[in-house]
Chain A
Amino acid sequence: MRQYDKWIMLLIVGIIVLAVWAILPLEEKINLGLDLRGGMHLVLEADESKLPPGEDLKDAMNTGLEIIRNRIDQFGVREPTIVHQGDKRIIVDLPGIEDPHRAVDIVGKTALLEFKLLDEGGDLSGALQGKIPPEDEILYNSKGEPYLLKKETLLTGKTIKDTRVEIGQWGQPYVTLEFDEEGAGKFAQITGRHVGERLAIILDSVVKSAPVIKTRIPEGKAVIEGNFTMEEANELRIVLKSGALPIPFNIIQNTTVGPSLGQDSIRKGLWAGITGFICVILFMGFYYKKAGLIADIALLLNLLFLLGALAALKATLTLPGIAGIILTIGMSVDANVIIFERIREELRKERAPRSSVDAGYSGALRTILDANITTLITALILFQFGSGPIKGFATTLSIGILASLFTAIVVSKTIFNLLLAGRPVKRLSI
């Protein structure tokens, strides 16, 4: 064995050990995308037209993200990802979520709580026909019944200290709020000043209730009633406690994958991959005999390195990513095929086995590099312009190609060198 081969051998073994170390245990190290593990991907876009005057969009976005994070933490999702995208978008990834509808409400609700007085002296039916008094506005409750309200907001949910869900005497849940000192003072003032009038509690422009103020409320507590289910009340508790979003958000994309579909995709992808893999392994063995087995070893290592790189880079494996791996299985033997065909040609010219191998490798090298770069260009562009799942495809495809260059050119060549070293070889099994 030549000294050079020894070092290369050492390098290869080192990389194998690193790759194995990187991927074990597999379930923890390979980061599955939402399309495989199930979950919800939301893109929220701030409605700039509703930015309160004097408010900075950037500040609003930062506060918004914090509030959303807060809500999700309270909702109890493991490993959520909440990040900014561009100037006015927030991306929320919630893996393994079981109740997607609830999650949408919790993330997307503005939760602006307002207290306004009813204009009981005003003419509601006249206002409904368009004659709204200048200081008033009309809002509706969830059943569509109109209320004529004074425009002025007396108090908002900003000063809420705590919220709780309680059960009323008929078993219906309701939400209680507790204001902080400042809020409690204001609330006492308002209720004291307007005894006998009706105070509307409004959430995101929908009137929740409009009770009559019976007496001044000094302790800073209020109750929100409505026809809530237990879940709805709980939702309200979470969004009120974490505060209102400083700017309303629209959900412009919502992709939700149930856990069963993800499992199913993994199973099918695995099955297709294994079948394809066995076919390629057998074919190479039959077609190129012992040399084919060398290519098979190279292919096996290729997959190991690919998974190792995925784990080390903390890249996300998606369904198209699995397709990329499967495609790699078929395409990555190409480098070895080019080399073997070259070696066969050299052998046909009655060249000696060892020099045929060397000539085959050196002759094929440029072709292999030239040819593989095109697929790399494609992968790069897909990575740049693709959405999440497609990025996964681009990742596995490009890592697969790079790994195949290494395994075909370095690994299989070293195996050849080892087999051919130190003894006279009359025939090559290729």
Chain B
Amino acid sequence: MQFFGETDIDFIGLRKIAFIISGVVIGISIVFLVLKGGPKLGLDFTGGVEIHLKFNGPTPISWVRTGLSKIGLGSAVIQSYGKKEENLVLIRFGVEEVSQDTASKIVLRIEKVLREEFKERENPFIVQSTNLIGPKISEELRRGALLAIIFSLLGMLIYISWRFKLRFAVGAVVALAHDVFISVGALSLGNFEFNLPIIAALLTIIGYSLNDTIVIYDRIRESFKTYRKRRFSYKKVFNLSINQSLSRTIVTSLTTFVVVLALFLWGGAAIHGFAFTLLVGIIVGTYSSSFVATPVVYTWGEGKTKRR
């Protein structure tokens, strides 16, 4: 079986359209980010207390709020999440609202007051998990996440410039930035919060997208040796290499996409955001290695040739 035989798509010729599309999507991502006031940070990075409850039946948020206001926590963030039939509710408030020492105890009080509230409504619940992150820890996690992103971008840059010429590295990094921007925009659009697993997913996307790009780069390098002798133009060699890699690019992206889709659909609420990031990233990363990374390398090279 084969999706397509030998293709002859003019990727390099399509680069202007591709750049415009990418530019527009990145623009939309940035607009969304600005409109929402930057990425929405999750508990890992803000610090605070989060309690996850699972109710027996449908639970309007106002009921929970009524219960919480009895102990002065009426202003807490209360959200339902996950699939509707799961009846999951999360409660979140800052540690500064309660002193750290009592933060652990307040969970007990919340549990108690909600038990009373929902006893009347005959809708019992269980506490699935509680999470208290002090300000020091959240600061450390923020720094760790930032360092991880910086180091992985640096690592990739060093690795690629070692294995390939500089302009290839530039093309790859442009594609990576492209992928990260769009993924972050999509996360904002989907109202997902940035927490540690999402950072991990973003870094995985960086690795994945680069993986795709390198397979094509390798092909270009190899093709140069064989085809330049036959006086093929740069454009032709680039196009040929992308086309020759296309089958592999599509198949691998497909298998990866399928497993991540399974994770997204059935993996549960706890890794929903993580799976979503990967889903978006795989699509964008696959696109960017053929339509962004390689054309950027070509465009840069073209400029140089003209100047010469």
Contacts and interface: CB of A to CB of B under 8 A. Distances in A.
Interface stretch (B13-21, B114-122, B250-258, B293-301): B250-258
Given A261-B52, A333-B252, A333-B255, A254 B131 contact: yes
Nearest to A333: B255
A390 B159 CA distance: 23
Contacts of B244: 345
Interface in B153-196: 155-156, 159, 163, 196
A331 B141 CA distance: 28
B108 interface: yes
B34 interface: no
Interface in A285-305: 286-289
Interface stretch (B25-33, B63-71, B269-277): B269-277
A24 to B, nearest CB: 26
Contacts of B73: none
A379 to B, nearest CB: 8
A386 B196 contact: yes
A261 B270 CA distance: 10
Contact of A326 (B6, B204, B259): B259
Given A251-B103, A258-B128, A375-B211, 8 more contacts: A101-B105, A254-B104, A265-B268, A268-B266, A370-B163, A370-B218, A373-B159, A386-B144
B161 to A, nearest CB: 13
Contacts of B87: none
Contact of A367 (B1, B218, B261): B218
5 nearest interchain CB pairs? A276-B259, A330-B259, A252-B134, A378-B207, A330-B256
Given A260-B126, A331-B252, A382-B148, A377 B131 contact: no
A426 interface: no
Interface string B122-150: 00001111111110110001001101100
A264 B129 CA distance: 12
Interface in B230-289: 244, 247-248, 251-252, 254-263, 265-268, 270-271, 274-275, 278
A254 B132 contact: yes
A276 B262 contact: yes
Contacts of A251: 100-101, 103-104, 132, 134
B215 interface: yes
14 contacts: A258-B129, A260-B128, A261-B129, A261-B270, A275-B266, A276-B258, A276-B260, A327-B278, A374-B207, A374-B214, A382-B148, A382-B203, A386-B148, A389-B197
Contacts of A377: 152, 155-156, 159, 207
Secondary structure at chain B's binding surface: helix, strand, loop or mixed? helix
B256 A374 contact: no
Chain A interface extent, by class: 35 or more
Contact of B130 (A252, A254, A283): A254
Interface string A380-400: 011011110110011001000
Given A265-B268, A345-B244, A381-B203, A253 B132 contact: yes
B133 A390 contact: no
Interface of B: 1-2, 6, 52, 54, 100-101, 103-105, 107-108, 126-134, 136-137, 141, 144-145, 147-148, 151-152, 155-156, 159, 163, 196-197, 199-200, 203-204, 206-208, 210-212, 214-215, 218-219, 244, 247-248, 251-252, 254-263, 265-268, 270-271, 274-275, 278
A337 interface: yes
A386 B268 contact: no
B148 A381 contact: yes
A319 interface: yes
A252 B215 contact: no
A385 B130 contact: no
A350 to B, nearest CB: 14
